[in-house]
C-alpha cells in the first residue's frame, strides 16, 4: 500500500507532485580549488525532483566536495548552485532545504532514538503535538517503532543507519544528501539496507543524492548516476546507459568487468547500415564489421569494449556466420552457481574474461584449463571507442 504524507504536509505533497521530474538541483559551471589546486573542474549537472541520483567515482575524484557544496559546507570558487529553483550558492547550510546523512551517522549518543529524530523539529520550534506525530510517522517509515527509548549504542549498525535517515528526513527537506552511508555495514546488511534505502526514498518522495565508489551499489539503487574522475564528469546516465554505452575507456573500465580488444579501422562499410566500420581486430587477417556510434577514419586505432557476458566461448572453430572468432586457451574456470567465469588468453597474449550461464547438462559448454577455444561475441553488442591512452 502506498503511504500518504501525514496531514499538515499536503502542501508539500502538492508541491512535490507539481515539480516532479523538474530539476530540483542544478550546478552550473562549478569549480572548486583548495590551496590553489583545482579539485572540481567546471561541473554542470542537474538532478530531477524525486530522483535517486548517485555520484560515482574513485576515491579523491570530488564526490564529497560536490555533496558539501550542495549542503552549503563549501562555497564553490566559481559557478552557481540552485536548489528548488533558488540560487543557494552563498546561502548558509541551515537555510537550505537540504539535510545530510553522514558515513558515521553522527547520532547524538546521549539522546534516545526519539530525541535524535526529534532534534531538527525541536530546533525549528515545531509544536509538541505535531512533533510527536511526525517523529512517530518517521519511525514507522523506517520500521523502528518500539525502539524510541533506546540510545544509539543499544542499536545495530542497520538500525543506527535508519535513525540517521529518519533524523535527516523528518523535517521534509527537498533533498537528502547521503555520503557513503552504507560503508560501515557488513556485506549482508549492506545489501539489505540498499533495498530498504531505495524503498524508503520512494516512500518519502524526496530527492536523494548519494555518494559511493561502489559501482554495484550505485547501479542497484540509482535512477541515474554521474561517473566522475579527477574532478571531472565523465558520463551522466541511467545505470544501463553507463554500463552498456560507456562514453570512454575510463568509464568502461570503472563500471564493471571489461574486455578491451585492439582494432584498426579499414574503412566505413558502405553496404551496411550507418555506423558500420570495417576493421581488423586483434591483428586477425579477416576483417569484421563493428557497430560504431561515432565516425572513425580509415587507419584509426580504436578499442572494442565487450563485457564478459557479451562473449561466447566455443570449443571448436565456429562457422563464419558467428562473426570473427579469436583463438585462445583457457587459463581457468570459476564456478559461481548460476554462472561461471572463464579466463582466456588469446594467441596475441590478450587476457579475456567470459561469463557464461552454467548448464550442467550441456557438456559442450563446459571447458577446462588448458583447452584451446574460440571466442566470438554477440554481434552489435560491441562498443567502439577512441584509443584513449588514459
- Binding residues for ligand ATP, rule: CB under 6 A, are 34-35, 39, 57, 59-65, 213
| Smallest separation (angstroms) from ligand ATP to the CB of 176 | 17
| Smallest separation (angstroms) from ligand ATP to the CB of 277 | 36
Q: Report whether 117 contacts 139 (CB < 8 A).
A: yes
362-389 b/e (C-beta count within 10 Å ≥ 16 → b): eeebbbeeeeebbbbbeeeebbbbeeee
- Our CB check for ligand ATP shows the closer of 62 and 246 to be 62
CA–CA dist 131, 215 (Å, integer): 38
Q: How many CB atoms lie within 10 A of CB 266?
A: 15
Q: Please, what's the largest Cα pairwise distance for the chain?
A: 79
| Smallest separation (angstroms) from ligand ATP to the CB of 34 | 3
| Smallest separation (angstroms) from ligand ATP to the CB of 79 | 15
Give the residue from 365, 377, 310 showing the smallest Cα distance to 333: 365
- Our CB check for ligand ATP shows the closer of 44 and 75 to be 75
| Smallest separation (angstroms) from ligand ATP to the CB of 65 | 3
| Smallest separation (angstroms) from ligand ATP to the CB of 62 | 4
The two beta strands, 372-377 and 311-314, are antiparallel
| Smallest separation (angstroms) from ligand ATP to the CB of 161 | 18
- DSSP letter string, 149-208: T--GGGS-HHHHHHHHHHHHHTT--SEEEEESTTTTS-HHHHHHHHHHHHHHHHHHT-EE
Q: How far is CA 208 from the centre of its chain?
A: 13
- Our CB check for ligand ATP shows the closer of 235 and 325 to be 235
CA dihedral over 246, 68, 83, 176, signed as positive or negative: positive
- Our CB check for ligand ATP shows the closer of 41 and 280 to be 41
- Our CB check for ligand ATP shows the closer of 51 and 180 to be 180
- Our CB check for ligand ATP shows the closer of 35 and 274 to be 35
Q: Report whether 309 contacts 349 (CB < 8 A).
A: no
- Our CB check for ligand ATP shows the closer of 101 and 373 to be 101
| Smallest separation (angstroms) from ligand ATP to the CB of 41 | 11
- Our CB check for ligand ATP shows the closer of 58 and 295 to be 58
Would you state the torsion angle of the CA atoms of residues 52, 57, 62, 64, taken in this order, to the nearest 10 degrees? Answer: 50
Q: Helix, strand or coil for residue 138?
A: helix
Amino acid at each position: 500500500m502506498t503511504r500518504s504524507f501525514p496531514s499538515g504536509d499536503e502542501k508539500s505533497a502538492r508541491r512535490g507532485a507539481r515539480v516532479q521530474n523538474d530539476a530540483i538541483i542544478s550546478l552550473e559551471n562549478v569549480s572548486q580549488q583548495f590551496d590553489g589546486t583545482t579539485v572540481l573542474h567546471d561541473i554542470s549537472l542537474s538532478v530531477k525532483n524525486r530522483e535517486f541520483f548517485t555520484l560515482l567515482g574513485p576515491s579523491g575524484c570530488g564526490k564529497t566536495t560536490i555533496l558539501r557544496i550542495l549542503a552549503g559546507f563549501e562555497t564553490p570558487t566559481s559557478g552557481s548552485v540552485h536548489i528548488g529553483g533558488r540560487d543557494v550558492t552563498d546561502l548558509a547550510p541551515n537555510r537550505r532545504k537540504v539535510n545530510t546523512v553522514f558515513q558515521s551517522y553522527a547520532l547524538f549518543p546521549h539522546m534516545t532514538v526519539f530525541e535524535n529524530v526529534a532534534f531538527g523539529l525541536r530546533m525549528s520550534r515545531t509544536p509538541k503535538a505535531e512533533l510527536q506525530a511526525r517523529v512517530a510517522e518517521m519511525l514507522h517509515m523506517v520500521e523502528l517503532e518500539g525502539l524510541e527509548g533506546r540510545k544509539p549504542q543499544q542499536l545495530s549498525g542497520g538500525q543506527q543507519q535508519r535513525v540517521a535517515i529518519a533524523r535527516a528526513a523528518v523535517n521534509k527537506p527537498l533533498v537528502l544528501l547521503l555520503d557513503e552511508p552504507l560503508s560501515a555495514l557488513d556485506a549482508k546488511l549492506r545489501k539489505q539496507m540498499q533495498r530498504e534505502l531505495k524503498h524508503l526514498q520512494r516512500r518519502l518522495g524526496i530527492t536523494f543524492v548519494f555518494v559511493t565508489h561502489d559501482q554495484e551499489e550505485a547501479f542497484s539503487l540509482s535512477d541515474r548516476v554521474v561517473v566522475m574522475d579527477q574532478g571531472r564528469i565523465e558520463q551522466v546516465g541511467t545505470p544501463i546507459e553507463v554500463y552498456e554505452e560507456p562514453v570512454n575507456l575510463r568509464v568502461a573500465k570503472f563500471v564493471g568487468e571489461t574486455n578491451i580488444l585492439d582494432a584498426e579501422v579499414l574503412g566505413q562499410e558502405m553496404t551496411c547500415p550507418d555506423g558500420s566500420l570495417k576493421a581488423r581486430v586483434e591483428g586477425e587477417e579477416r576483417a569484421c564489421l563493428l557497430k560504431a556510434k561515432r565516425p572513425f577514419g580509415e587507419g584509426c586505432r580504436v578499442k572494442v569494449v565487450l563485457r564478459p557476458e557479451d562473449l561466447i566461448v566455443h570449443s571448436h572453430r565456429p562457422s563464419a556466420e558467428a562473426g570473427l572468432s579469436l583463438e585462445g586457451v583457457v587459463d581457468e574456470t570459476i564456478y559461481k552457481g548460476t554462472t561461471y567465469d572463464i579466463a582466456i588468453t588469446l594467441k596475441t597474449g590478450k587476457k579475456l574474461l567470459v561469463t557464461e550461464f552454467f548448464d550442467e547438462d550441456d557438456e559442450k559448454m563446459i571447458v577446462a584449463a588448458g583447452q584451446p577455444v574460440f571466442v566470438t561475441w554477440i554481434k552489435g553488442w560491441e562498443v567502439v571507442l577512441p584509443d584513449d591512452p588514459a
